[in-house]
Chains A and B, each alone.
Chain A
Amino acid sequence: MGFCLFIAGITTNSLFLQRLIGNSHFDIENLENSMSNLLEVHKVVKQYGSYVALNEVSLNVPKGSIYGLLGPNGAGKTSLIRIINQITLPDRGEVILDGEKLQPKHVQTIGYLPEERGLYSSMKVGEQCLYLAQMKGLSKAEAKKQLDYWFDRLGIQGWWNKKIQELSKGMAQKIQFVVCVLHKPKLLILDEPFSGFDPVNANIIKDEILALKEQGSTIIFSTHRMESVEELCDHISLIHKSNKLLEGKVGDVKRQFRTNTFEVGILTNNVEGLMYDITQRFTVSPASFKSLNDDLKLNIEIGNATPNELLNILTQRGQVTHFVEKIPSINDIFIQTVTENSK
């Protein structure tokens, strides 16, 4: 986890810091009961005619995690999500939710925000929410209570008697979000939750997602926006062409894809000497990053050597101003894995 500190050094997002702290706390918890997965998908197969949408896909979603379900368009994510929601049935394989085989009563413990989502355009916001909440098994009184809480929390009390067609798309999205969390689901499945939101509202929803996680909800998060995966998820899996290609904690996945490359900034008078020293042992390429110094910027792949060996050489030749391991972004991992497997 050493590299975390470096990231923390260059990021200014306090929310991110907060998440990191939270994250390490949950990591410990997960270590303690690593067996407690809220959702387990075992070798699920789904075929549409002759087209295989899911080919023996297995997933383990730990309790209390934010689990990123990634994959290009048409990979099979939506098929899988629909199976978890019991909208369709798998042809083979099984889904275990909270230790029990998936059954109809479980729809009340799942909250689902589909990618293709909408509301009854001519129905009033309040009535609509009450209706959808009752469908999830809440009593009318309980639904009303929860709605008041959420409307108050998101500052949308005045919308109760508005019709959806009077609201903007972003406003409607907020209502949809409320609808899928009203019944305090154990498992929350969010498919592209930020699409259609302006940055301010996206942030509000992000905070709400984190708050729900704090309260113990497990969240499956499906998106193409890798920066939000980077910010929110602690587990990810990647589905491509109906197969699961990788799965694990974000840190583990990243370690798996690390290139042992360091981004280095150095102030030196003897560039040739320095280059001679390091090119003898390491692979070097030019780098670019923001810096206040007029320093030499390099990417240095150290292979099996330790960072200290590199540092030793560097410090002998000049003033080190920047030294960070290049951590593969989830975006890089995504693109790399998908292109490798598309061949």
Chain B
Amino acid sequence: MNIISLIIKREFIAKVRNKSFVVMTFLSPLLFVAVAVFIGYLSSMKAETKRIAIHDETGLFATDFLKENKQGAEFKYYDLSQIEVKALKDSITKENFSGLIVIPKSDNVNDLESKIEFISNNSPSISFIENTQDVIASKITKLNLEEAKLDTLAIQKAQSKVNIHLVKASGEESLKGLNEIKIGIGGAFGYLIMMFIIIYGNMVMRSVIEEKTNRIIEIIISSVKPFQLMIGKIVGTSLAGILQFMIWAIIGLGLMFAASAFFGVNVGPTSRISPEMMQSAQHQLSGSAQMYIAELWNLPIASIIIGFVVYFIGGYFLYSSFYAAIGAAVDNQTDSQQFLLPILTPLILSVYIGFFTVVNDPHGTIAVVFSMIPLTSPIVMLMRIPFGVPWWQIAISVSLLFATFFLVVWFAAKIYRVGILMYGKKPTWKELYKWLKY
């Protein structure tokens, strides 16, 4: 134990003192915030107003489009019904119009449904097309209603709006937006684990390779057991990693606040949401903010945090044992690629399953199965936990994870033990298998 703590200490200090580690620790949050500020700045810039020409031969729709002209809107409509279509077509680019809506003459408005054209050199955005269609369709509907002598006001009154309330079996009222919060929390933790495994697993591998290329390994291994060295390396590196993550979090949050206060822009992707959505969201929020906060507290916070810690430790150690074994088997980092792929695959797979399957159906078969399989469970199960997972599933998943962890550590230690003393050649899978039997 004493020797392991000695190794942990050395690994930690070696990592933390490393120049690239220091640079990464303090530069990454700066870079991250800079990028976020940049994105925020870009999206907060007023998009260039696009000019749309309207040639309305019926004279029924142009006014409806002109009503859409508001301050700061993306499109500005111009009624150019007097000019001939041909002349307009030729001049749209010259006159700096983005497009031209052509509504041909028709006796029956209903004939227009499929006769309206939009002429443009660039393909228009889907939202623009939908919006245009909406404007025209509602006008036609209105005209039809009037023709049928129906009272539009009465119809509007008669239309109903349904708002389903989500209620849990336990009786508490739930909120629709809560699912997004759950996905957000689970996803963030799952993603964090993946990033941590990739970044620091690689670091473990590099440090094993370093000892091999330095040729110090034989001196060390004559004093300590390979297993002790391996565990010491993994723990030492992960402590350095946790420190780095904490520094990142602190600096990142600090800079975020500073940046948003200083530049007065919304930082990051939140500002990409259109103003209307923001408005409605704000409206909704102010009404139910308290309920949301109450709901957040109703989330299984304890199990989320405990789950994160348990799956973090299990998953990280499982994967770093793989990384350590690979590092021991190869002589340099380029040789490691062929062994890394099979390890990264389940990791990436679990993130995909998390974001596509768990989100849709957190308790479906695929989600349940992959939250049991040890290589994917740290991420998939963590994303399921906020939705409430029966304790027996967690028990099976965790015990499988740790059983595999011990098995893998045992295998990895064997490969490690043989591999660190093998120089000069790139081993094959077959040879790795042979080493297990030495």
Report which A residues bind B (CB closer than 8 A). 48-49, 82, 85-88, 104, 107-108, 110, 112-114, 116-123, 131-132, 134-136, 176, 179-180
Check if B434 sits within 8 Å of A116, measured CB to CB: no
Please tell me if the beta carbons of A180 and B219 are within 8 angstroms of each other in the complex. Answer: yes
Contact: B219 with A117, CB < 8 Å? yes
A122 contacts B216, C-beta separation under 8 Å: no
* B215 contacts chain A at the CB level, 8 A cutoff: yes
Tell me if A135 and B3 are in contact (CB < 8 A).
yes
- State the CA gap A136–B220 with chains docked (Å): 9
Counting CB contacts under 8 A, is B89 at the interface?
no
Instruction: Given A48-B438, A116-B423, A131-B6, decide whether A121 and B219 contact each other with a Cβ distance below 8 A.
Output: no
One digit per residue, 1 when the CB lies within 8 angstroms of any chain A CB and 0 when it does not, for chain B 297-312 equals 0000000000000000
Question: Given the complex, which residues of B lie within 8 Å of A108, measured CB to CB?
Answer: 223
Q: Is there contact, CB below 8 Å, between B214 and A87?
A: no
A123 in contact with B14 given A87-B218, A118-B214, A131-B6 (CB within 8 Å): yes
Measured between alpha carbons, how far is A176 from B18 in the docked complex, in Å? 23
Least Cβ–Cβ distance between B175 and chain A, in angstroms: 54
- Contacting residues, chain A, for B417 (C-beta < 8 A): 88
| Cβ–Cβ < 8 Å partners of A112 in chain B | 218-219, 222
Q: Known contacts A87-B421, A122-B18, A131-B6; is A117 also within 8 Å of B215 by CB?
A: yes
Instruction: Choose among B210, B218, B224 the residue that contacts A114 (Cβ–Cβ < 8 A).
Output: B218
Q: CB-nearest residue of chain B relative to A140? A: B6
- Residues A135 and B220 in contact, CB atoms below 8 Å apart: yes
Nearest A residue (CB) for B431? A49
CB within 8 Å for A120 and B434 given contacts A87-B222, A132-B223: no
Q: Does B221 contact A (CB under 8 A)?
A: yes
CB-based contact B434/A117 at 8 Å: no
Chain B residues within 8 Å of A, Cβ to Cβ: 3, 6-7, 10, 14, 18, 210-211, 214-216, 218-225, 417, 421, 423, 434, 437-438
Q: Which residues of B contact A121 (CB under 8 A)?
A: 214
Do residues A136 and B218 form an inter-chain contact, with CB atoms below 8 A?
no
Q: Do A120 and B14 touch across chains, with their CB atoms under 8 A apart?
A: yes
In the complex, what distance in Å separates the CA atom of A112 from the CA atom of B211? 17
Tell whether, in the assembled complex, residue A49 and residue B223 are in contact, meaning their CB atoms are under 8 Å apart.
no
A sample of 12 more A-B contacts (CB under 8 A), given A119-B214, A131-B6, A134-B6, is A48-B438, A49-B438, A87-B221, A107-B224, A114-B215, A114-B219, A114-B222, A116-B218, A118-B215, A122-B14, A135-B7, A135-B223
* B219 contacts A176, C-beta separation under 8 Å: yes
| Complexed CA–CA distance, A114 and B216 (Å) | 9
Q: How far is the CB of A323 from chain B (nearest CB, A)?
A: 49
CB pairs A–B below 8 angstroms (12 shown): A49-B438, A86-B222, A112-B218, A113-B219, A114-B215, A114-B218, A116-B218, A117-B216, A118-B214, A132-B220, A135-B3, A135-B220
Closest to B225 in A: A104
With a 10 A CB-CB cut-off, give which of B218, B220, B224 has the most chain A CB atoms.
Answer: B218
Q: Are A110 and B222 in contact (CB under 8 A)?
A: yes
Q: Which of B215, B221, B434 contacts A49 (CB 8 A)?
A: B434
Q: Are A116 and B223 in contact (CB under 8 A)?
A: no
Q: Which of B10, B18, B215, B223 contacts A107 (CB 8 A)?
A: B223
Which 6 pairs show the lowest CB-CB distances between chains A and B? A118-B215, A114-B218, A135-B223, A118-B214, A112-B222, A85-B222
| A322 to B7 alpha-carbon distance, docked (Å) | 63
Contacts of A88 in B (CB 8 A): 417, 438
Contacts of A104 in B (CB 8 A): 225
Note all chain A residues with C-beta closer than 8 A to B18.
Answer: 122
Closest to A123 in B: B14
Partner of A119 from B216, B221, B225 at Cβ < 8 Å: B216
- A136 to B6 alpha-carbon distance, docked (Å): 11
Least Cβ–Cβ distance between B271 and chain A, in angstroms? 44
Interface centre among B3, B18, B223, by most chain A C-beta atoms within 10 angstroms, is: B223
Set of chain A residues within 8 Å of B421, measured between Cβ atoms: 82, 87
User: Which residue of chain B is the closest to A179 with respect to CB atoms?
Assistant: B219
Give complex CA distance A117, B421 in Å: 11
Name the distance in Å between B430's Cβ and chain A's nearest Cβ. 11
Give CA–CA (A120, B434) in the complex, Å. 30
CB-defined contacts of A87 to chain B, threshold 8 Å:
218, 221-222, 421
Q: Is the CB of B222 within 8 A of A107?
A: yes
List residues of chain A with CB within 8 A of the CB of B219: 112-114, 117-119, 132, 176, 179-180
CA distance A87 to B217 in the complex (A): 11
Q: In the complex the two chains form, what is the Cα distance from A87 to B7 in whole Å?
A: 18
Question: Which residue of B has the minimal Cβ distance to A47?
Answer: B438
Contacts A48-B438, A49-B434, A121-B214; is A136 near B14 (CB within 8 Å)?
A: no
Shortest Cβ distance from A163 into chain B, in angstroms? 11
Q: How far is the CB of B270 from chain A (nearest CB, A)?
A: 42
By a CB distance below 8 angstroms, the chain A residues around B223 are 107-108, 132, 135-136
Query: Closest Cβ of chain B: how far from A133's Cβ, in Å?
Result: 9
Q: List B contacts of A116 (CB < 8 A).
A: 215, 218, 423
Report B-chain residues with C-beta under 8 Å of the C-beta of A118. 214-216, 219
Q: How far is the CB of A185 from chain B (nearest CB, A)?
A: 11
A117 and B214 CA atoms in complex are apart in Å by: 8
Q: How far is the CA of A49 from the CA of B438 in the complex (A)?
A: 7
In the bound complex, how far is the Cα of B7 from the Cα of A131, in angstroms? 8
